[in-house]
């Protein structure tokens, strides 16, 4: 197995882990959270947002951001035009649709929520905070979920398009 093959495999796995995480969150966690009261919803989101800040998530999230361009470069000018093109599109989509959306959209909302002392807010303030947070956060999350799933498909199709991996 070559270095290029190992990087392609790692890229597929890391891309699938991030896209899968976002997809699973959209299918299971978000529908459950919407059923909660304002106080419970906000407390749950604070807890989830704090819990995901861990080395395993950072390694996978940032690792994908590094692996995609490396993998793309490894398939540049190697007679694998389709694989290169698919990987390049996957990298650009991950960078813009997953990484930038997360950093410019979800993270600022997470930070806004994190500083709120929910125990000191009355029912109207809790409802207002949820209103300011939930719909925007969900919109950004759906964008990055769609981008992540498309990235999985692009990287997978790139691997399938390779005639012989050397």
The DSSP letter of residue 165 is -
pTM: 0.94
Please count the structural domains in the chain.
1
Domain extent at residue 156: 3-161
How far from 26 is each of 10, 53, 121, 126, CA to CA, in Å?
24, 18, 28, 23
Residues 6+ apart with CB under 8 A from 24: none
Q: What are phi and psi of 164, to 5 degrees?
A: -140, 125
Residues 66, 67, 68: CA angle, nearest 5 degrees? 95
pLDDT of residue 16: 99
Could you say which residues of the chain have pLDDT below 70?
Answer: 78, 164-166
Does residue 138 belong to any structural domain of this protein? yes
pLDDT of residue 77: 79
Give me 42's structure tokens: 């906000």
Q: Are 137 and 109 in contact (CB under 8 A)?
A: yes
| CA separation for the pair 122, 89 (Å, rounded) | 47
Does residue 166 belong to any structural domain of this protein? no
Q: Are 18 and 64 in contact (CB under 8 A)?
A: yes
pLDDT of residue 164: 62
Does residue 33 belong to any structural domain of this protein? yes
The DSSP letter of residue 48 is H
């Amino acid at each position: 197995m070559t270095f290029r093959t190992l990087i392609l495999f790692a890229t597929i796995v890391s891309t699938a882990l991030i896209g899968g995480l976002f997809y699973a969150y959209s299918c299971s966690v978000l529908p459950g959270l919407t059923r909660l009261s304002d106080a419970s919803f906000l407390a749950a989101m604070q807890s989830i947002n704090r819990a995901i800040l861990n080395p395993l998530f950072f390694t996978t999230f940032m690792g994908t951001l590094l692996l995609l361009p490396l993998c793309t470069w490894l398939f540049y000018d190697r007679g694998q035009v389709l694989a290169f093109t698919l990987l390049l599109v996957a990298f650009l989509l991950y960078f813009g649709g997953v990484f930038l959306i997360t950093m410019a959209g979800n993270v600022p909302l997470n930070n806004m929520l994190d500083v709120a002392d929910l125990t000191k807010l009355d029912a109207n303030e809790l409802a207002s905070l949820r209103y300011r947070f939930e719909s925007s956060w969900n919109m950004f999350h759906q964008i990055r979920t769609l981008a992540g799933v498309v990235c999985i498909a692009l990287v997978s199709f790139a691997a399938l398009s390779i005639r012989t991996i050397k």
